[in-house]
Amino acid sequence: MARTQDSPEGEPILLHWAARVEDRVHAWRERLGRRRGLITTVIPYTGYAAPGWARVLCRVVLARGAAAPTRVEKVRGWRSFFSIPVDDEVVVSIEGEEFRVRPDRAGIVDEVVDVHLEPGWHTISLHTEGTEPVTAGIFVVDPQSEFGIISDVDDTVMVTALPRPFLAAWNTFVLDEHARTPVAGMSVLYDRLSRANPGAPVIYLSTGAWNVAPTLSRFMGRNLYPRGPLLLTDWGPTHDRWFRSGREHKKSSLERIAREFPGMRWLLIGDDGQHDEEIYREFAAAHPENVAAVAIRQLSPGEAVLAGGRSRPGEPEEAGAPWFYAPDGAGLDEQFRAAGLLRG
């Protein structure tokens, strides 16, 4: 019998044959892993919230031994892509309240729970039956806030050479955060923006896989980027196709954020080596009230060649929200100050 899952409307849908094969492989690996003594482990991810609800993010996998959470957090490169996802129920504790959630077929928990929290940072606890709890940060957006930052990661805050197949594979599967290069001046720019707008949420939106979330988080912490949730995706087959679309992931994530924070105006930051300009332009046209400005980091000539060219030449004028183009954080900082978006 073909395996099904529920659609967002609650109707069962037939899984793509590649997804069914992947599920069988995961089930076989899970049985083998449990016989070898691997235990269920929750990998916590930073979430975000507003008064009345919270978006909880984590991944549930099998790992080895009593130090499994620490061991999994330190897994780097290609090893993170060979973890075994499981669907064990996760107990989420938030300010004395408990919620029970189930991972999806990739082991990802992405659930909204009803809870009332004060604006600012909070710590939540997550565990499965018989395991020690782990903690995750969750940022509650103040309903009075009117400004936030949504940033791409690859080639915007970190030089990764995506989407060059060979270099991308090397960066993703081999290198760790110590070998990755930050984009010049961007962490300083983000810090100044955060200081100039206290309480402004910073959300990092990437087409990268959830498997590399710990590596990306360590990289951004090491390079002093403002703390904020990562919104990544799963690279495996979906119910209707071989692989998820990174472009659709970004578009749907932006639409979701617009629904969740209808009064917020976002500074959208990306680069001109992928589809950020097109995605941001479409979003700005559909939600002009939610876009404060768009900033595009221009790739160097060498990066542009490796990336297969630029998306299109930067234009100084765009309809609606102001657009800014510069090769690094210092250039964008200068333009933001000239436009009055950044003071001090």
pLDDT in tens, 35-48: 888 999 999 999 99
What band does 168 get if pLDDT is binned at 50, 70 and 90?
A: low
Give the mean pLDDT of 240-266.
86
Same domain, 156 and 279: yes
Same domain, 118 and 162: no
Q: What is the CATH number of the domain that holds 247?
A: 3.40.50.1000
**pLDDT of 238 strictly over 50:** no
Same domain, 105 and 161: no
Q: What is the pLDDT of residue 173?
A: 61
**CA angle, corner 270, sides to 277 and 139, nearest 5?**
125
Do residues 41 and 98 lie in contact, with contact meaning Cβ atoms separated by under 8 Å?
no
pLDDT digits (tens, 9 = 90+) for 258-278: 999 999 999 999 999 878 999
Same domain, 86 and 133: yes
Tokens found for residue 59: 């991944």
Residue type, 302: G
Q: Determine, yes or no, domain membership for 22.
A: no
Same domain, 103 and 181: no
- Alpha-carbon distance of 42 to 47, in angstroms, equals 14
Q: What is the CATH number of the domain that holds 101?
A: 2.60.40
The percentage of residues in the chain with a pLDDT greater than 70, rounded to a whole number, is 72
Same domain, 136 and 271: no
Same domain, 71 and 154: no
Same domain, 133 and 155: no
Q: What is the pLDDT of residue 12?
A: 44
The number of folded domains in the chain is 2
Q: What pTM, to 2 d.p., does this model score?
A: 0.86
Select the more confidently predicted residue: 218 or 18.
218
Give the mean pLDDT of 87-96.
96
Do residues 297 and 269 lie in contact, with contact meaning Cβ atoms separated by under 8 Å?
yes
**pLDDT of 206 strictly over 50:** yes
Domain boundary pick from 84, 113, 140: 140
- Alpha-carbon distance of 105 to 110, in angstroms, equals 12
Instruction: Give the structural domain span for 240.
Output: 147-339
Q: Determine, yes or no, domain membership for 309.
A: yes
| Angle, helices 329-339/186-196, rounded to nearest 10 degrees | 30
102 Cβ contact partners less than 8 Å away, ≥ 6 residues apart:
87, 89, 90, 109
Q: Determine, yes or no, domain membership for 27.
A: no
Give the mean pLDDT of 84-113.
94
Domain boundary pick from 87, 106, 140: 140
